[in-house]
């Protein structure tokens, strides 16, 4: 388990959950620090939503413990219901009550308080997310982004110990998603909230997470900061998950990695401390390839442009590289002026080569 001492707000200890023969979550140990945003990242079916539901008390684990602020909320002898755990929940569909106004939706989480106090607190929460002017509106009158902010206000107003968010931005269109996501994260950080966010989108996890727990087949395969996971993926599958990757047969000799697109210094060991030697798989991301005109003295390996796709701020190039089977992908700033059939030279920018066991 990631040791964070007294700063841990939410702790999973060897938590497992099975559905028949399928292990949805398998012996997961994880500590979420107070005030951090931790992303549970992975493909569909990897166990991230099940783990979130276990923390919330919606799902009961088969083994292990869940501890919030030092209090066991789920274990072999004790299981608290969701309402007794003081956690906030924001679902993918926001789950607003259609027959209640936005104010009453937010006030629903304050049912134990005097009416006037609950109303004042709920109004303050709506003002904080920019929805004070819509307090008396009903959910169907709000846009997707406004509904998301209303759901966030409802989850935050009881001042939960942990906020649990399941794919909270996936229902928004692309342009709206970026704005609402940034506004939401700014609000959470301003309040010092502790949050666990489930997402299948690696770009989203890199953008919002203080740390990322990458899950696969019910287990956490890598845990760390965004740059750690992106720059030092634990294995080739982790590298592929964050970005499409060119994969070459390579070799490490005397501290250098030799690839079909050049020989480069071995920058660092892998995420688990493995120091390679001999045959390896060399991974190069498309934006780390440099494509130059094939002129006298140009650095790199000979290649031919066999396809070009304009992507707005970048061109995606399909390349046939000398000595390499299959297509090599490069992403270069647009307009690149490269054309199909053009002879070019290819190298790796800064020697950014990911190295994995062969």
Domain parsing of the chain, residue ranges: 5-231, 243-357
| CATH superfamily label, 243-357 | Nucleic acid-binding proteins (2.40.50.140)
The dihedral sign for the CA sequence 309, 310, 311, 313: positive
5-231: CATH topology: Rossmann fold (3.40.50)
Q: Exposure pattern of 23-45 as b/e (b: 16+ CB <10 Å)?
A: bbbbebebbbbbebbbbbbbeee
Report pLDDT for 42. Answer: 96
C-beta separation of 245 from 285 below 8 A: yes
Whether the pLDDT of residue 3 is over 50: the answer is no
C-beta separation of 132 from 124 below 8 A: no
For a pLDDT cut of 90, what percent of the chain falls above it?
68
Across residues 315-325, what is the average pLDDT? 94
Query: Are 5-231 and 243-357 equal in CATH topology?
Result: no
Lowest mean pLDDT among 59-63, 111-115, 150-154, 283-287: 111-115
C-beta separation of 214 from 42 below 8 A: yes
What band does 1 get if pLDDT is binned at 50, 70 and 90? very low
């Amino acid at each position: 388990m990631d040791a964070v001492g007294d700063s841990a707000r939410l702790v999973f200890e060897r938590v497992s959950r099975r559905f028949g023969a399928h292990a949805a979550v398998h012996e997961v140990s994880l500590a979420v620090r107070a005030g951090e945003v931790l992303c549970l990242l992975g493909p569909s079916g990897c166990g991230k939503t099940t783990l979130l539901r276990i923390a919330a008390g919606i799902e009961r684990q088969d083994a292990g413990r869940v501890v919030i602020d030092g209090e066991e909320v789920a274990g072999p002898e004790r299981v608290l219901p969701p309402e007794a755990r003081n956690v906030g929940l924001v679902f993918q569909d926001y789950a607003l009550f259609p027959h209640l106004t936005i104010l009453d939706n937010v006030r629903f989480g304050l049912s134990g308080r005097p009416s006037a106090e609950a109303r004042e607190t709920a109004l303050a929460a709506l003002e904080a997310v920019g929805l004070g002017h819509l307090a008396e509106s009903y959910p169907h009158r709000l846009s997707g982004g406004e509904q998301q902010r209303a759901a966030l206000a409802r989850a935050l107003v009881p001042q939960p110990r942990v906020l649990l968010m399941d794919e909270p931005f996936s229902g928004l269109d692309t342009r709206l998603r970026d704005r609402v996501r940034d506004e939401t994260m700014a609000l959470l950080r301003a309040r010092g909230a502790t949050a666990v966010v489930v997402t299948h989108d690696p770009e989203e996890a890199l953008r919002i997470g203080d740390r990322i727990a990458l899950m696969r087949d019910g287990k956490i395969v890598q845990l760390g900061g965004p740059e750690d996971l992106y720059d030092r993926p634990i294995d080739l599958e982790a590298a592929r998950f964050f970005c499409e990757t060119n994969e070459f047969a390579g070799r490490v000799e005397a501290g250098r990695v030799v690839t079909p697109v050049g020989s480069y210094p071995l920058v660092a060991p892998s995420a688990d401390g493995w120091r390679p030697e001999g045959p390896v798989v060399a991974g190069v991301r498309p934006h780390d390839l440099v494509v130059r005109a094939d002129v006298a003295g140009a650095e790199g390996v000979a290649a031919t442009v066999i396809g070009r796709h304009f992507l707005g701020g970048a061109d995606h190039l399909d390349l046939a590289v000398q000595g390499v089977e299959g297509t090599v992908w490069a992403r270069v700033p647009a307009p690149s002026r490269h054309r199909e059939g053009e002879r070019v030279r290819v190298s790796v920018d800064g020697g950014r080569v990911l190295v994995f066991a062969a």
